[in-house]
Structure 1
Amino acid sequence: MNDKLKYIKEDETIDDLQLKNLNLIQKKDGFKFGIDAVLLSDFACIKKKHKVMDLCTGTGIIPFLIYGKYEPESVCGLEIQEDMVDMAKRSVKLNLLEGKVSFLNEDLKNIEFLKKLEKFDVVTVNPPYKLNNAGIINPNDKLAIARHEILCNLEDVISASRVLLKDNGRLFMIHRPERLADIFTLMRKYKIEPKRVKMIHPKMGKAPNIVLVEGQRDGGSYLKWEAPLYVYDDNGKYTKEIDSIYWRA
């Protein structure tokens, strides 16, 4: 572990992803990845020949989980916050993944920049969930940026995905069920056809609080609604399905 400490700053920590010895550098008191990233990386259908782009990547949790799980040809993460990208790039060196996982410090609303990039087989995104219309929010607050549509909104994310995807490429998104109508409407506006939906419930008998959506660039009209996933059982423990997703089963 001491050898790994050369990659981090005083206010940072190294977290073991418990997947193929991969680690992630994060702020000790900053935004930490949660179950959303794990669920999205499990939901995405990725092959070894694929090139993957992760939008709103933060410190890079989804690219590292995707590489650990699928070992695609390459995974790139795009993030507007420079300090997040700095941590992600150091995580690449820490994990000896140069040439396999990379990160770009750029605004996904910069469409001209996106058009200059190669096209991707898969785009994944865990975007800010909350509408930026409630209360006073500090635009420099890292947690607020991660949770509220301050620097980008849902339409920005889907518009960027349209530009980045190859013909028939796939978009995998995690969001909140109350935004599902917006997600479907915007996907169709940008000709990304919704193909698969999975609802995540805290436990049996509770309403879903997370939704996973797959879309296909220029895909035909056919929507598959998958069986729901429950996070906790009646005893407050992770269900077998969640244990499997977390590689514990």
Structure 2
Amino acid sequence: MTETEMKEKRPLRIDDTGFGSVRILQDPETFCYGVDAVLLAGFAAARLKGRSRPSRLCDLGTGNGIVPLILSHKTHIGDMWGVEVQEEVWRLAVKNVELNDLEDRLHFLHANVRDIRTRPVECQSPAGQPVFPAELGGPGSFDAVTMNPPYTAAGSGLPAGNEARTIARHEVAGSLEDFLRAASALLKDKGHLFIVHRPSRLIDLCELCRRLRLEPGEIVFVSGKPMEKPNIVLMHCVRNGNRGLRILPEMHVREPDGSFSHEMLKLYERETPVRDAASAMRKDREGPPLRSENDIPAAGGKPGAEAECKDSVK
């Protein structure tokens, strides 16, 4: 049996996301989404709701499509796209559209972010012509872009356990600059970019964003619990936006007693504080509380479903 045939026969798992009726197919052997993707979707949704309704959004490095799937529940955006370089993971995203009957709103493209370079002043192909996947509709055609790019710079860190994790974690198929160039090409003037990354890359983020006319406007640091060092940063940029950076109050995922924080409950549309997070989530068939920053806070068709994933890379 070939490697491809083995992958096709590998069992997939259907999980409830905890967002309305949205479900997701995941491969426990290679790819499960993490809390960073949930935070990114919530961060973007909260800011897009308060503005004139955006009509088009693109998620770069979409993985199995979790961010657009959550946004399909949290927003009324009618045309959402996801771009994914890994064919096997992209196929999962396409299946997730069908699973949730969202063919009229969600579309996924198998492509590398390096192929999305359309603004001639900023970047051209070797032949001197702009490069752009025709499916996405042309340069400057999106109101918003979200991205959860690989966190580890090329040549840094230890290699991951398999190719899927390596591509998701390390900048081997696209650097941070590649992702940001793609976002700049996709966005309309005054369009909105939402990023999740590691605080250790914050200087790189700010420097690259400003160079590519993506002006940082808001930053939120996220920690596991109060008083712990932040391990996630959320950033909101505007293409050709006004200068002026706001550092918003830090948020945390859990309280000292292990219950979900008010911010996380609000993100999951549950306003009442819960001391025993595990019991509360099980009532909604959403799994136990986080065990690490990469676990899924509320996912699973059965209690503890996310624990079966060997690694959560998004």
- TM-score, normalised to structure 2's length? 0.73
Q: Does 1:41 align with 2:41?
A: yes
Comparing 196-205 with 180-189, greater Cα deviation is found at 196-205
**Distance in 1 between residues matched to 2:136 and 2:239, nearest whole Å:** 17
How far off its partner does 1:156 sit? 0.5
**Distance in 2 between residues matched to 1:72 and 1:81, nearest whole Å:** 25
In the alignment, structure 1 segments of 5+ residues that lack a partner are: 1-7
**Distance in 2 between residues matched to 1:164 and 1:27, nearest whole Å:** 30
Render the CA deviation track for 1:152-188: whole Å, top value 9, x for unaligned. Answer: 1110011100100011101000000111110000001
How far off its partner does 1:73 sit? 1.5
What is the percent sequence identity of the aligned residues?
36
Q: Does 1:88 align with 2:107?
A: no
Q: Does 1:163 align with 2:182?
A: no
Relative contact order: is structure 1 or structure 2 higher (C-alpha 8 Å, sep ≥ 6)? Answer: 2
Residue matched to 1:202: 224
How far off its partner does 1:137 sit? 3.4
How far off its partner does 1:225 sit? 1.1
Comparing 108-117 with 238-247, greater Cα deviation is found at 108-117
Q: Does 1:61 align with 2:66?
A: yes
Render the CA deviation track for 1:19-65: whole Å, top value 9, x for unaligned. Answer: 22111111022221111111101111225442100000011000100
Q: In the alignment, is the contact (CA less than 8 A) between 2:54 and 2:144 conserved in 1?
A: no
Closer, same or farther: CA 103–218 of 1 in aligned 2, 3 Å:
same
In the alignment, structure 2 segments of 5+ residues that lack a partner are: 1-7, 118-130, 272-314
**Distance in 1 between residues matched to 2:142 and 2:95, nearest whole Å:** 24
Comparing 231-240 with 157-166, greater Cα deviation is found at 231-240
Comparing 43-52 with 26-35, greater Cα deviation is found at 43-52
How far off its partner does 1:140 sit? 6.2
Closer, same or farther: CA 9–75 of 1 in aligned 2, 3 Å:
farther
Closer, same or farther: CA 223–136 of 1 in aligned 2, 3 Å:
closer
5 Å-filtered alignment, 1:9-20, equals 10-20=10-20
Q: In the alignment, is the contact (CA less than 8 A) between 1:108 and 1:114 conserved in 2?
A: no
Q: In the alignment, is the contact (CA less than 8 A) between 2:225 and 2:254 conserved in 1?
A: yes
Q: In the alignment, is the contact (CA less than 8 A) between 2:222 and 2:230 conserved in 1?
A: yes
How far off its partner does 1:113 sit? 2.1
Residue matched to 1:29: 29
Comparing 61-70 with 39-48, greater Cα deviation is found at 39-48
Residue matched to 2:234: 212
How far off its partner does 1:231 sit? 1.4
- Which letter does structure 1 place at the counterpart of 2:258? G
Matched positions, count = 242
Q: Does 1:74 align with 2:75?
A: no
Render the CA deviation track for 1:43-100: whole Å, top value 9, x for unaligned. Answer: 1122544210000001100010011111211110000111111111111111111120
Closer, same or farther: CA 116–70 of 1 in aligned 2, 3 Å:
closer
**Distance in 2 between residues matched to 1:74 and 1:142, nearest whole Å:** 27
Residue matched to 2:312: none
- Which letter does structure 1 place at the counterpart of 2:79? S
How far off its partner does 1:10 sit? 4.4
Secondary structure of the structure 2 residue equivalent to 1:235: coil
Residue matched to 1:133: 155
Q: In the alignment, is the contact (CA less than 8 A) between 2:30 and 2:162 conserved in 1?
A: no
- TM-score, normalised to structure 1's length? 0.91
Residue matched to 1:227: 249
- Which letter does structure 1 place at the counterpart of 2:48? I
For 1:149, which of 139, 154, 171 is the aligned residue? 171
Closer, same or farther: CA 192–126 of 1 in aligned 2, 3 Å:
same
**Distance in 2 between residues matched to 1:139 and 1:153, nearest whole Å:** 20
